[in-house]
Structure 1
């Protein structure tokens, strides 16, 4: 990305600030396997502190902050806010590197424990990427073969998304099909009071639903097959669902539900190239 303002630090500087840093990655991805020329990008942050790391979208974090301030003022005009394309968040605890994945599916928010191991094959091939000397490694994860480049110059066995376990930070990683890739774009030393806050401690209207990875995947598939299930369950419990046009005129609920379900299924058909491809199999 052209406007990144972060600076790549030297090895000694990284060691000095080793416990509180932000690594910025450009995430490039293709959502529709039939349109591989139409890629999207999102700037992602990997914040590292003594307790572990948190991987999340910069745009989502900014949008959440703006919405919190507007809610405090009693405003509900969110027009113009850039919410970001990646809503999920990954947290890793140190030193055991346990993985917790946070995401919303339909009307519910989930905390998912992921105990899958990464079996890395470290190769002899080396490459200079930016300021870093890196070494190649490969693994199979979530239905894809991944090619990673890591550097021992940064002594964290961590990386973007759920990737971890190499003897140094992952500078670049992409799947064999070149449809999902993460590349390190910058490093920033954070202040002592900028330690990341866990999603466990975020205020929400409903508590997180805690699931295993397999049970969460079933929820994702169920939502794709029944995209208005949450609204229908709300109505079955006595809740009210109303649709209005731009003039405030109430529309036919049944018709709008059918149209919403059709649009969701059409969007799902185009969103067929998930990072974790094995969810759809």
Structure 2
């Protein structure tokens, strides 16, 4: 895993006055309940600005930025025949979570199949703050619990950082969430570093990102329905594109025409096997 060389733990006084900050969390997760020892790790950024926050994968963001810069450079040079080999995506988590201040309205941007969705999520964690206190890193923290997203969560927050925010969709405690984990210990977010940002580094909403197809706006209930249908038929979107003539012909790296029906069958088998193993996702209520 990449070393956090650029991160420093800043003083409490500085944190309370800085408007632009990046909180980097280590996210450990095991999404296959039959292989709980197979724990994956990803660094996630929580970027804070006066307008709100954005939570996203650091690795995916870097790879995505590199790819867009490469494409723009090739297009400007007049080269429309180029390969993206060598600019493979790193990181497994391609979603982002945006919260607006001061209402903390949550916008969740994620892909299902060939479509990208903007989910306006109105669910709010209902916290119970406990008297337990501890120390995590340089921060004095206090314990809180809640039932949210189909799981029981334990959080440790600090009032030394007076931001009522945290990783993913978690917020609403009287201070920043330093660590949070579910009861089964399958999903754990822990703060590992803080970096000061300047205004020029203020996060850009995923709603404004250039894309071929527009975002599909849904609420959390509609998103659950779409996700359930995807689990049942993960190749539906691609099949519709082929039937509607949006994909006329596909070729492999050697220029040979691909048998799309065989490709669909092979991909469907592969994707369904993969989805079977994703039985312990963070939002467990999506599977119920």
Q: In which range does the TM-score fall when normalised by the shorter chain?
A: over 0.9
| Matching residue of 1:48 | 48
| Matching residue of 1:12 | 13
d(CA) in 2 for partners of 1:96 and 1:81?
37
Match among 170, 186, 204 for residue 163 of structure 1: 170
Per-residue deviation, 1:241: 5.1
Return structure 1 stretches of 4+ with deviation > 3 angstroms: 241-246
Per-residue deviation, 1:271: 1.0
The 3-state SS of whatever aligns with 1:73 is helix
| Matching residue of 2:79 | none
d(CA) in 2 for partners of 1:224 and 1:202?
27
For 1:11-31, what per-residue CA distance to the aligned partner results, in whole angstroms no more than 9, with x for missing partners? 1111231x1100000000002
Which runs of no fewer than 5 residues in structure 2 stay unpaired? 75-81
| Matching residue of 1:69 | 69
Q: Is the 8 A contact 2:32 2:280 kept in 1?
A: yes
Identify if the C-alpha distance between structure 1 residues 34 and 228 changes in structure 2 by more than 3 Å, giving closer, same or farther.
same
Q: Is the 8 A contact 2:63 2:87 kept in 1?
A: no
| Matching residue of 2:265 | 258
| Matching residue of 1:114 | 121
The 3-state SS of whatever aligns with 1:123 is strand
d(CA) in 2 for partners of 1:224 and 1:264?
9
Name the count of aligned residue pairs: 280
Q: Is the 8 A contact 2:45 2:55 kept in 1?
A: yes
Match among 191, 205, 211 for residue 204 of structure 1: 211
d(CA) in 1 for partners of 2:223 and 2:94?
16
Per-residue deviation, 1:248: 2.5
TM-score (norm 2): 0.94
Identify if the C-alpha distance between structure 1 residues 246 and 205 changes in structure 2 by more than 3 Å, giving closer, same or farther.
closer
Identify if the C-alpha distance between structure 1 residues 76 and 245 changes in structure 2 by more than 3 Å, giving closer, same or farther.
closer
For 1:184-205, what per-residue CA distance to the aligned partner results, in whole angstroms no more than 9, with x for missing partners? 0001110121111111111111
Is 1:275–2:282 an aligned residue pair?
yes
d(CA) in 2 for partners of 1:44 and 1:241?
38
For 1:140-165, what per-residue CA distance to the aligned partner results, in whole angstroms no more than 9, with x for missing partners? 01110000000000000000000000
Per-residue deviation, 1:69: 1.1
The 3-state SS of whatever aligns with 2:46 is strand
The answer to which of 151-160 and 240-249 deviates more is 240-249
The answer to which of 74-83 and 142-151 deviates more is 74-83
Per-residue deviation, 1:240: 2.1
Per-residue deviation, 1:81: 3.0
| Matching residue of 2:77 | none
- After superposition, the CA RMSD in angstroms is 1.3
| Matching residue of 2:131 | 124
| Matching residue of 2:179 | 172
1:218-237 to 2 correspondences below 5 Å: 218-237=225-244
| Matching residue of 2:190 | 183
Per-residue deviation, 1:7: 0.5
Q: Is the 8 A contact 1:243 1:256 kept in 2?
A: no
| Matching residue of 1:32 | 32
